[in-house]
Amino acid sequence: MKIYQTTEIKNIAILGSSGSGKTTLAEAMLFESGVIKRRGSVGAGNTVSDYFPVEKDYGYSVFSSLISVEWMNRKLNFIDCPGSDDFVGNVVTALNVTDTALMVINAQYGMEVATINQLRLTQKLGKPVIFVVNQLDQEKADYDNVISQLQADYGSKAVVVQYPVNVGPGFNAVVDVLTNKMYKWGPEGGVPDVLEIPEEEKEKAADLHQKLVEAAAENEESLMEKFFEQGTLSEDEMRMGIRWGLVSRHIFPIFCVCAERDMCVRRTMEFLGNVVPYVRDLPAPINTEGEEIKPDSGAATSLFFFKTTVEPHVGEVSYFKVMSGTVHEGDDLINADRGSKERMGQLFSVAGQQRSKVEEFAAGDIGATVKLKDVRTGNTLNGKGCDNKFDFIKYPNPKYRRAIKPENEKDVERLSEALQRMHEEDPTWIVENSKELKQTIVSGQGEFHLKTLKWRLANNDKLPIIFSEPKIPYRETITKAARADYRHKKQSGGAGQFGEVHLIVEPYFEGMPVPDTYKIGGQEIKVQARDVQTYDLDWGGKLVFVNSIVGGSIDARFLPAILKGIMSRLEQGPLTGSYARDVRVIVYDGKMHPVDSNEISFMLAGRNAFSEAFRNAGPKILEPIYEVSVFVPSDKMGDVMSDLQTRRAMIMGMESDRGIEILNAKVPLKEMANYSVALSSLTGGRASFIMKFASYELVPSDVQDKLLKEYENSQKDED
């Protein structure tokens, strides 16, 4: 492949729901551009995009795939993305390093939940979108319904560029209102006959052509003036207007294809080559210092690494975008994130698993290299005079968790290394070694996402693992004030141990004052806050430690030891061994010995006094509550709501977006353990959801009783 300059490069993400035909379209594009001589199929497992063993086994995309083609003296870098919401991280990455989205819509089903979720991302990132209606040769294809849905969402901005003459098994022709021609194919597709528009289609084509002209003219002042003067625009002027309309998201062009039979793929690619914005046309990315980094091939070199894969017989393959400057084989660059020096070895232009060696990449281009020493996904490599760092990719919160361990305990270290490597390949696989839960927790976007991780560990690493439902990170707190005192006394020959602590505990909320009198168990205790320290606990919530010692009953030098003892009990609450939080402790009295008192004595006294007071203060268990938004077709709303209510959900409200209902609720994490599986079963895979932590709330009394019994039994088992 020849070397392309910034002004000749276009980067395009191929999006769409599962089954929309993205990979088949990518295969047809590779064929049309001459990269491959024969088209593969998803069913046969021989496509260029889906080349990983897990993808061949499952029969659809799991990872995004870079496909670079030469077309019309330009370089088009496509990233073919998985359609399942479980692999949305690939979509997020692709949209952040490309400039335009090619949204493939299945003509049989129209706007699906995954499509709408992906469109939200394009809107959030301000990316241009081109719609491609695929599978028009299917029995249930309904082109008019798709257009109605798009125009309901985007109004006059959704502009038809092509429409099918006949939909269904007999599909073989489209009218293109940009070129004012009809394209017709034989049974095998390929190169079409370019014909004049038939008489019976001229009125419809003329009306749609006029709408396209008007939409193009609106995006550039000189074009608008010419349109008012002449009532029309030339084809080239329309292309220019559409390009600027794409950049500003004022035009959403609509195309037709039958990717499986290679119909209209060539014409769609012509539009991409002619009209899609170049890298330079879109807003430049911002580095971590807030500076705009323009794709200038003459500037200092800066590469952003957005993806890492490990491939058989090759090893680690690192994918990058040239943010500025030009990178050459043999360049020495500095890793801005890790401080290490890297030499760029071989550079490759990529088409799936096919790689073509190139000597350099200019700003805006996307490529790959192999065998870097110390580069991770998200790292930036810079040349001399450049200190850029980028962190613009923001991934969604995980929504499916499993505890993971190897079948053989001897493989713990191997598993840890494999999980770290897999996180590098897909940052939406989150791995946490929980000290609190004494488990390794792996989180992802859904059951199938983690099932894929398990498949790869078993088949690629020969490392069988066990998944189990993870423990819940409960918290403990108190609901009323209580007091306790404890004397630690120990005498064994020489110097003894002595420390006595009197304290009060009470539930704490932000901003609450310290009273000067407490009435507990018929006893009135006066306090005077001499010093108040607030500690943000690592596990959430606060501890407020109040020194109310008067008369020197406890020397100030022993207070840190008392605090240490209290902290040790907060790390293992008395109810279930969970972390405790949101407690205020007032140390108001005690005793010490001139010889036997020391730090260990007061640490033990403080710990035991706190434990006793905590137990008497109406202790309660808190559970994590998550905000959950479910995106569901309206005909499944009742089933989904009923299911959520069985999960102790509090329904917060409902709204609609593009024909999809959005159900907002607050749900305990415990009840979300298998929700992605249940939701898929309830809706036939047509719904999705997102979730994020909201707060800790008191568990119902029946749930608390059950948890207490479970903890008591587990302690007996350990004994």
- What pLDDT score was predicted for residue 719? 54
Report d(CA 664, CA 648) in Å as an integer: 14
All structural domains of the chain, each given as residue ranges with its CATH number in brackets, are: 6-198+251-281 (3.40.50.300), 302-382 (2.40.30.10), 400-471 (3.30.70.870), 479-618 (3.30.230.10), 621-703 (3.30.70.240)
Judged against a pLDDT cut of 60, whether residue 534 lies above it is answered with: yes
- What pLDDT score was predicted for residue 639? 94
- The mean pLDDT value for 296-320 works out to 91
pLDDT single digits (tens) 466-488: 999 999 999 999 999 999 999 99
- What pLDDT score was predicted for residue 660? 82
Q: Helices (H) and strands (E) in the chain — how many of each? A: 16, 38
Q: Which residues pair with 371 in a beta bridge?
A: none
pLDDT tier, 424 (very low <50, low <70, confident <90, very high otherwise): confident
pLDDT single digits (tens) 78-100: 999 999 888 999 999 999 999 99
* Number of CB atoms found within 10 A of residue 144's CB: 11
Q: Is 485 exposed, middle or buried (0-12, 13-18, 19+ CB in 10 A)?
A: middle
pLDDT single digits (tens) 331-387: 999 999 999 999 999 999 999 888 999 999 999 999 999 989 999 999 999 999 899
For tokens 């205020």, name the residue.
Answer: 584
Report d(CA 47, CA 31) in Å as an integer: 11
Report d(CA 374, CA 16) in Å as an integer: 34
* Number of CB atoms found within 10 A of residue 522's CB: 5
- What pLDDT score was predicted for residue 717? 67
pLDDT single digits (tens) 134-148: 999 999 999 999 999
Kindly state the DSSP code that residue 409 receives in the 8-state scheme: G
pLDDT single digits (tens) 638-674: 999 999 999 999 999 999 877 789 999 999 999 999 9
pTM of the model: 0.86
- The mean pLDDT value for 228-247 works out to 91
Cα end-to-end distance, the chain, whole Å: 69
Report d(CA 387, CA 381) in Å as an integer: 9
pLDDT tier, 189 (very low <50, low <70, confident <90, very high otherwise): confident
DSSP helix/strand/coil, 616: coil
Spatial CB neighbours of 162, under 8 Å, sequence gap ≥ 6: 174, 175, 176, 177, 254, 255, 256, 264, 267
pLDDT single digits (tens) 432-477: 999 889 999 999 998 989 999 999 899 889 999 999 999 999 999 9
Q: Does residue 124 or residue 230 have the better pLDDT?
A: 124
pLDDT tier, 43 (very low <50, low <70, confident <90, very high otherwise): confident
pLDDT tier, 44 (very low <50, low <70, confident <90, very high otherwise): confident
